[in-house]
Structure 1
Amino acid sequence: MSIRPGPRNLITDVAGILVGNAGDHRVRTGVTVVYPAERCPAAADVRGGAPGTWNIQALDATSLRNEVDAIVLSGGSMYGLDAGGGVVAALGARGRGIGFGGAVIPVVPGAILFDLANGGDKAWGEAPPYAALGRAALDAVGTDFALGNAGAGLGARSGALRGGLGSASTVTADGLQLGALVAVNSFGSAVMPGTDRFWAWPYEMGDEFGGLGPPPADWQGEREMPLPPGFAVNPLANTTIAVVACNVVLSKGELQRLAMMAQDGLARAIRPIHTPFDGDTVFAMATGAVPLTNPAMLARLGHLAADTLARAVARGVYHAESLGDRPGWRARFGH
């Protein structure tokens, strides 16, 4: 059955999903908010050895409910947890959330990545910028948004290169909509060693990340794992965080399976992945416009989600511009 990118090739090609970015270039950090127009169920899967998350227990299949009002991805490591609080406060003021005892309680899970050592001005004292950045990202939500040096990917790194914010989408002839959004801040590399080619090249649609295809015929394959610059000094400075979304009706358990299968997209696009130094986390959302007809359909969704996330990773690195001690992919390879 034919598949293709959606009209924007962004996660917002899933109807009802909006995204907003906010960043501080002086600090070299930012926040991305994924906002469903209507509250929708979500799940999370954590594979990295050094994760930083909040409120993901509410998404567990054993919890009472798992609908969310937004998902927040933030730089800043532990300081970035404030971004979720900023979004919660803003949504509560708008009356968005669960009504309980006369109060409105927004449900906003999220994850953080480490970008504190990228050379930006982090001397914020007792006033980190993340709550304000979270509110600004929420105010900016829409169907179009920037990739590369934007949002949670603004200060990111990927191996020896700049990381960044990436997104991609897949739509099918029978009405399925899949989308992925990722802040690539990986210990591992999205690029095959000794080449300018992306590990995700088999999944590329058109020339969405350069159209270079497979590695050269004389490529000798991956040898010993390369170490990114500064690793010996700062080995815990990573984490890739992502959201996948679809337009299908999924139960809590089915959403959890979708998030688990989508994690394989990171493994297809970054090597090594899920290391002790990363906190790789993938959220899954379902807007519920299309019924799930059988278990094979869920397997198909997971397969498409993984491929779409792999493409999003490559697009995030492809669009990133040089910053600090990490060159952008295009600057490094002259494309």
Structure 2
Amino acid sequence: MIKTGKQNLITDVPGIQVGNAQDELIRTGVTVILPDEPAVASADIRGGGPGTRETEALNSDCLVDVVHGIVLSGGSAYGLDAAGGVMASLREQKIGFNLGDAIIPIVPSAILFDLLNGGDKDWGVKPPYFDLGFKAAQAIGKGFDLGNIGAGYGAIAGGLKGGLGSASFVFSEGESKISVGAIAAVNSMGSLTMPGSKTMWAFPYEQNDELGKQPMPEKNTKIDLDFSFELPLGKNTTLVTVATDAVLTKPQARRVAIMAQDGLARAIRPIHSPFDGDCVFVLSTGKCELSDPVVGVSKLGMLAADCVARAISRGVYLAETMGDLESYRDRYGS
């Protein structure tokens, strides 16, 4: 049986917590995903304009085999400072690799572009992202809001107000009960809705009316396959983290990340453009054995992609209008 987790959040995965911080004046924010214990991690980057930190360390041929957190941040390249704030918070708690007297937390991160959303970006000499990262890491917990929060606070998604979304599944795999969840900061160039319709591309994957009972496309509806590109371009990116309690190696985590990228394509059109920096991280807390290393990873990756599509859509569905950035529900109704 496959069902949503109790909260329908990535934190339904045991051992995963999330923290958010945002600046309402600047219209930006940071989201932190922290495992209770160091977790196996990998990433898959498909966008043509990514901004990342420490992602090379996640390659299977690199020495580091676990990480201490993942950071998703607004701010474009300035937002890469957020990982430093998270590292500072973890170091205070003595979390990280111990090399002699040194404590070094490994915190891969990725950023989205929210510098042209109407917020006051005149922050002076010091960008706010180190402090926002520190604040988010200090605010971790199992429950958190969706929509205008964290890295999704200042996001724009295909002409609608973007946001932070999350979703989860729990399913049986052999003798194990596996949890998988996703969190997404949605700032896409592509649209989440079909042309001339309020129906989201991800409508088939909706669970328990989490997207307001998405309407089915009318029978024999011919979908316009063209797309109107809003100018100026280059202000986009959707960032995702998938977490699971299944035992995964780094190569297996990489395969799940590759499969989970399909969730972006199920929810956003177009996706992975030259102007997006789309990135999917995967965290494995390694508590539940898969009965089969091939079939189990295949099923996990399939459901991870579904969670990603749902998380992306929930982030936009639950976002609220901000200034002249109109929300999905204000435009189409809830």
What residue is the counterpart of 1:79 in the other structure? 78
Aligned residue for 2:170? 171
Which residue of structure 2 lines up, in the alignment, with residue 205 of structure 1?
A: 207
2:143 is aligned to 144
Counterpart residue identity of residue 185, structure 2: A
1:88-237 equivalence runs, <5 A: 88-174=87-173, 175-217=177-219, 219-228=221-230, 231=231, 234-237=232-235
For 1:218 and 1:153, locate their aligned partners in 2 and report how far apart those are by CA, in whole Å: 35
- Unaligned runs of at least 5 residues, structure 2: none
Map residues 1-335 of structure 1 onto 2, 5 A cutoff. Answer: 2-174=1-173, 175-217=177-219, 219-228=221-230, 231=231, 234-294=232-292, 295-335=294-334
8 Å CA contact 1:60–1:66 kept in 2: the answer is no
Distance 2:155 2:314 in 1: 14
C-alpha distance after superposition, 1:161-181 (max 9, x if no partner): 111000000011451101000
Question: Is contact 1:118-1:324 (8 Å) kept?
Answer: no
Q: CA deviation at 1:292?
A: 2.3
What's the CA shift for 1:66?
Answer: 2.5
Structure 1 stretches of 5 or more lacking a match?
none
CA distance in 1, matches of 2:150, 2:55: 21
| Post-superposition offset of 1:193 | 1.2
Deviation at 1:104, TM superposition (A): 0.7
Alpha-carbon offset, residue 26 of structure 1: 0.6
Q: What secondary structure, in the 3-state scheme, does the structure 1 residue paired with 2:143 have?
A: coil
Q: Verify the 8 A CA contact 1:118 1:325 in the aligned structure 2.
A: no
Distance 1:4 1:212 in 2: 19
Quote the offset at 1:227 in angstroms: 2.0
Identity score, percent: 53
- Following superposition, the deviation at residue 320 of structure 1 comes to 0.4
Task: Give me the CA root mean square deviation.
Answer: 1.0
Scaled by the length of structure 1, the TM-score of the pair is: 0.97
CA distance, structure 2, for counterparts of residue 28 and residue 219 of structure 1: 38
Q: Distance in 1 between matches of 2:195 and 2:267?
A: 13
Offset at residue 218 of structure 1 (A): 5.5
Tell me which stretches of 4 or more aligned residues in structure 1 moved more than 4 Å: none
1:252-296 deviation per Cα after TM superposition (whole angstroms, max 9, x unaligned): 100110111000000000000000110000000111111122211
CA contact (8 A) 1:187 1:272 kept: yes
Provide, for residues 200-248 of structure 1, a one-character-per-residue CA deviation record: whole Å limited to 9, x for no partner.
Answer: 01111110011123222363213311223xx1xx210000000001111
